[in-house]
Amino acid sequence: MCPDDLPSALSEPRSRAALPSVAIVGTTGAVGVELCACLEQRGFPLASLRLLASQRSAGREVAFAGRMLRVEVLDERSFEDVDLALFSAGASVSRQYAPLAVKAGAVVVDNSSAFRMNPDVPLVVPEINAAEIARHHGIIANPNCVAIIAVVALWPLQQAHAIRRVQACTYQAASGAGAAAMQELLASTGAYLAGETYARRVMKHPYAFNLFSHDAAINPATGYNGEEEKVMAETRKIMGLPELLVGVTCVRVPVLRAHAVALTVEFEERVSPEKVLGVLAVAPGVRVVDDRGANHFPMPNEASGQGDVLVGRIRTDVSDPSGRSVSLLVAGDQLLKGAALNAVQIAERLYSC
């Protein structure tokens, strides 16, 4: 199946031996593809790259830095000689293999939800809490994509004016459910336009020109779904604000790869939209898109492929008579800042790139 002349891992010359040997787990998934791209595009200094995936994807060839690498089957010995393992293959794979990677001596940056709320595991967005990285015990968790995109905008505001309460409604893209969900959106939409039926494989509900409440299981005690509970808990943990009031409604919309989030932020004191705009205009990882005259605000199509989170529609929430609430709209690439880019940024901090 696989030509023998293809290396199973990229190996750099000996002079770079001090650089980390890197493995990606879940190479062929939507995030895995972007992990490879981010490492390459950002020139992440690595000694070797091992691409791991399930049996189904093993043997595929992936281009990296001008060479073709062969995808290997993930197994218990995959992490020998690996210094840094970037996991993005779901929580169950992380639960099984991340401890093995740590045991083998690797540091794991895990994109799944498996360890995020473990008190011993740093949950990191580098613009916010990069210092947390130093206290890791082998695993650093990459947060939920909505949480990342929201906190990149919320944190600079919190630094300037204490936040009391955050309410969010999401407009989440297909990519958050993986490459197969993106494919299902495209294929089912094509079938709709052709007047053909489409047999769903990934989503619980029809996706062409439709939207639905995020299909994570509902917690019967609260009525919130698992995605919403992740966003609420992780937002508090990343920002180090365990008492922050957060309420979220997560909705999946027929958009491909960038999430939008409508936020209403209640501060402890009155804060003008002009002040909010001023804070966000100089915030790291943020790009203000707020042209009222042109009706040009954050949109998924413009967030896609971008590392920055787009922020705009900044206005005082007229439904709060205290004048302490500001509404805004953010959009960020779910696969980049919401996943792969943030993971690579964590890795860069680990290795002081």
- The residues annotated with a catalytic role in the active site are 145, 259
Q: How far is the CB of 267 from a copy of itself (least distance, A)?
A: 14
Burial profile 270-291: b = 16 or more Cβ within 10 angstroms, e = fewer: ebebebbbebbeebebbbbbbe
For the window 183-222, what string marks contact with a copy of itself as x by the rule CB under 8 A? --xx--xx--x----------xxx--xxxxx-x-xx-x-x
Q: In terms of CB distance, is 142 or 327 closer to a copy of itself?
A: 327
Measured between its terminal Cα atoms, the distance across the chain in Å is 37
Q: Is 65 in the site for a copy of itself (CB under 8 A)?
A: no
Q: Is 279 in the site for a copy of itself (CB under 8 A)?
A: no
Rounded Cα distance, 253 and 195, in Å: 21
Going by C-alpha positions, the residue among 284, 308, 335, 329 that lies closest to residue 129 is 284
* 2, 6, 245, 281: residue in contact with a copy of itself (rule CB under 8 A): 245
Q: Is 225 in the site for a copy of itself (CB under 8 A)?
A: yes
* 300, 330, 344, 345: residue in contact with a copy of itself (rule CB under 8 A): 300
Q: In terms of CB distance, is 54 or 189 closer to a copy of itself?
A: 189
**Contacts of 182-190 spanning 24+ positions with Cβ under 8 A:** 182/30, 182/256, 182/257, 185/254, 185/256, 186/256, 189/254
Stretch that binds a copy of itself, among 47-55, 77-85, 114-122, 253-261 (CB under 8 A): 253-261
Q: Is 241 in the site for a copy of itself (CB under 8 A)?
A: no
Q: Is 316 in the site for a copy of itself (CB under 8 A)?
A: yes
Stretch that binds a copy of itself, among 79-87, 120-128, 147-155, 287-295 (CB under 8 A): 287-295
Q: Is 281 in the site for a copy of itself (CB under 8 A)?
A: no
Stretch that binds a copy of itself, among 24-32, 82-90, 120-128, 325-333 (CB under 8 A): 325-333
* 97, 115, 155, 224: residue in contact with a copy of itself (rule CB under 8 A): 224
* 251, 281, 305, 353: residue in contact with a copy of itself (rule CB under 8 A): 251
Q: In terms of CB distance, is 13 or 223 closer to a copy of itself?
A: 223
Stretch that binds a copy of itself, among 23-31, 111-119, 258-266, 339-347 (CB under 8 A): 258-266
For a copy of itself, the binding residues in 153-182 under the rule CB under 8 A are 165-167, 169, 171
Q: How far is the CB of 340 from a copy of itself (least distance, A)?
A: 20
Q: Is 267 in the site for a copy of itself (CB under 8 A)?
A: no
- Sign of the CA dihedral running 177, 182, 188, 189: positive
Rounded Cα distance, 163 and 180, in Å: 38
Report the interface residues with a copy of itself, using CB under 8 A: 165-167, 169, 171, 185-186, 189-190, 193, 204-206, 209-213, 215, 217-218, 220, 222-225, 232, 245-247, 249, 251, 253-256, 260, 262, 264, 273, 292-293, 295-301, 312-321, 325, 327, 329
